[in-house]
Amino acid sequence: MTDTTHLGMPLIAASQSQKHVTHNQAIVILDAIVMLSVIDSTHTAPPGAPAEGDRYKVASGATGAWATWDLNIALYTNGQWLKLTPKTGWTCFDEATGALTVWTGSGWTDIAAAGGYLTITAAGNGTLAELGILTAADNTNRLAVKSNAALFSHDDVTPGSGDMRIALNKSAAGKDAAFVFQDGFSTRALFGLLADDNFTVKVSPDGSTFYTGMSIDRSSGKVSFPAFAKVSAYINYDHYAATTYVNTDINNEDLDSANAFASNVFTAPTTGLYKVGYSLGWTQNGTNAPTSMHGRLLKNGATEVLPSASRASNNAADTGKIIICTEGIISLTAGDTLRLQHKFSSLDGYASANITRFWVEQLT
């Protein structure tokens, strides 16, 4: 054996003359390798005026005196370049970039990627490019934590204030600043500033279709529930009826937030409490007036959900005016329907255009 196994230092042979030469060369190599630091890792050829002891990590594509030395360590000593071949586990500090790398046996790699350690570059100034705890961080998830729980507590050491605040900052109103909740990495709920500066809560059944459950206006603080059904509808013509109930032709909508109203019928989108109501106006047919006008709301085409209302309508001065208006809170099951009906007693008449209305507001 002429060289040591790990550091490649020359050994003094038995009966060797000028033993000091071999010994000194071993010391030079040891001096170069221990606490290995290089000027940079970008040179492919020797610099013009090297100084004694200069070290470089030779870049790929080496030429000149460094030809074929790719990724090896070039040491300048005694007026010439000496190649130091790295062994698995060697670490090297790059003075130009602050990178700390390790030789894996086939190449130099950042020691963080190789072994999960903090690099000098990252830790030196308190800035980490990525941090993963029991899971890998990446360019998107620069902080990644795999744990049953995580704790953020106030600083109880001076100058700690006793407060604990977490800030999510976005670059523009159209961006998101949000917390996202996932099932199997498919989003099911999120809340925050979602594409605007109002506070919003959304849910999703599949990670691609989202429904807004709640929104708080940033300017007024008013809370709205966009998914709750809200309907305001009316007829735009005088709707005839005789002495038998007819389905009031509510044929125009001011509002239908949940697409729950169609063909005179409101369909409850979800189970809950609903505020419902209607108004009926009376328009006389000819010169004779019916005794009274009647109105009712039917659930599922059969059950009156509010007490039926009636009003004497034989006063000609009432024609074209609201004569019945009623409202109440009822419980509906998802899929239940509501329909407004009207009729007259003794003689026929019309439900007046525009002022005959039907409305619903979901409360829960």
What residues contact residue 46 under an 8 Å CB cut-off, 6+ apart? 56, 64, 65, 66, 74, 76, 81
Residues in the chain: 364
| Average pLDDT value for the chain | 89
Answer yes or no: do 241 and 207 share one domain.
no
- DSSP code per residue over 33-60: HTT-EES-S--SS--SS--TT-EEEPPS
**168-to-180, 194, 202, 223, 287 alpha-carbon distances in Å:** 12, 12, 18, 22, 71
Residue 71 placed within a domain: no
Residue 154 lies in a domain: no
Domain identity same for 241 and 356: yes
CATH number, residue 351: 2.60.120.40
* pLDDT tens track for 3-52: 766 666 677 777 777 776 667 676 667 756 778 899 999 999 999 999 99
Question: Cα(52)–Cα(23) distance, rounded to whole angstroms?
Answer: 18
Q: Half-sphere exposure (CA, 13 Å, Cβ side) for 1?
A: 7
Q: pLDDT-derived band of residue 115, with 50, 70 and 90 as boundaries? A: low
What's the pLDDT score for residue 19? 74
Q: Which two tokens stand for residue 274?
A: 């609903």
User: What phi and psi, each to the nearest 5 degrees, are found at residue 112?
Assistant: -65, -45
pLDDT band of residue 126 (cuts 50, 70, 90) is low
181 and 244 in one domain? no
330 within a domain of the structure (yes/no): yes
300 and 350, same domain (yes or no): yes
Domain shared by 235 and 218, yes or no: no
Query: For residue 207, what are the domain limits?
Result: 176-224
275 occurs within a structural domain: yes
User: Is 17 domain-assigned?
Assistant: no
Confidence of residue 114 (pLDDT cuts 50, 70, 90): low
Count of H-run helices and E-run strands, the chain:
3, 28
* Residues 40-91 pLDDT 10s: 999 999 999 999 989 999 999 999 999 999 999 999 988 999 999 999 988 9
Domain end (from 203, 224, 245) = 224
Same domain, 220 and 234: no
Closest CA to 232 of 247, 210, 253, 208: 253
- What would the pLDDT profile of 244-297 be if each residue is shown by its tens digit? 999 999 999 999 988 999 999 999 999 999 999 999 999 999 888 899 999 999
Count structural domains, the chain: 2
Q: Is residue 344 very low, low, confident or very high in pLDDT (cuts 50, 70, 90)?
A: very high
Residues 186 and 257 in one domain: no
Q: How many whole angstroms separate alpha carbon 200 and alpha carbon 178?
A: 9
Asked if 285 and 235 sit in the same domain, the reply is yes
Residues 195 and 317 in one domain: no
127 within some domain: no
| 236 and 219 inside one domain | no
What is the pTM (predicted TM-score) of this model? 0.56
Q: Of 160, 194, 224, which one is at a domain's C-terminal end?
A: 224
Instruction: Report yes or no: 131 and 144 within 8 Å, Cβ to Cβ.
Output: yes
